[in-house]
Amino acid sequence: MTDYYKTLGLEKDCNENDIKCAYKKLAMKYHPDKNINDKDVAEQKFKEISEAYEVLSDKEKKYNYDNGRNVTIHNHNPFDIYKQFFNNQFSFNTDINLSHCSTGSSINTTTQIINNKKITRIEKIERTPNGTKRTVEEKIEII
């Protein structure tokens, strides 16, 4: 099973403030626009951090996760979590282009943890002058 506490560098007995502080620190460190030279690695880490934050910051999801129960994650876009957390204000000096998150395309991700399987469904919708393209991808990981 994915260890969300380890992803955020936390102990299981952490509190709500610890979770927020860890997310803030790591989200700023691994934001893809801040890591231009290693963008793919940073983006993957950024997504993992956002997923961990979504579970551990929600009392019901955290309770279910801590007790080995199924958890459904609806992180529509890791950038949305970031923008919501920082109230659309960025703390580092970099030209950040998040337009791809809301105007030309959207990415919706749903993750379910069922028994020893992590099932992730990724739906991408791209709007172009020639029409709309929709792709759906599912990943199943044994944990």
pTM of the predicted model as reported, rounded to 2 decimal places? 0.59
Alpha helices in 10-71 (DSSP H): 16-30, 39-56, 59-66
Q: What is the pLDDT of residue 97?
A: 41
**Closest by CA position to 8, among listed 35, 40, 30:** 30
Please choose, from the candidates 98, 48, 41, the residue with its C-alpha nearest in 3D space to the C-alpha of residue 73. 48
Q: Is the pLDDT of residue 67 over 70?
A: yes
- What is the three-class DSSP state of 79? helix
pLDDT at 103: 42
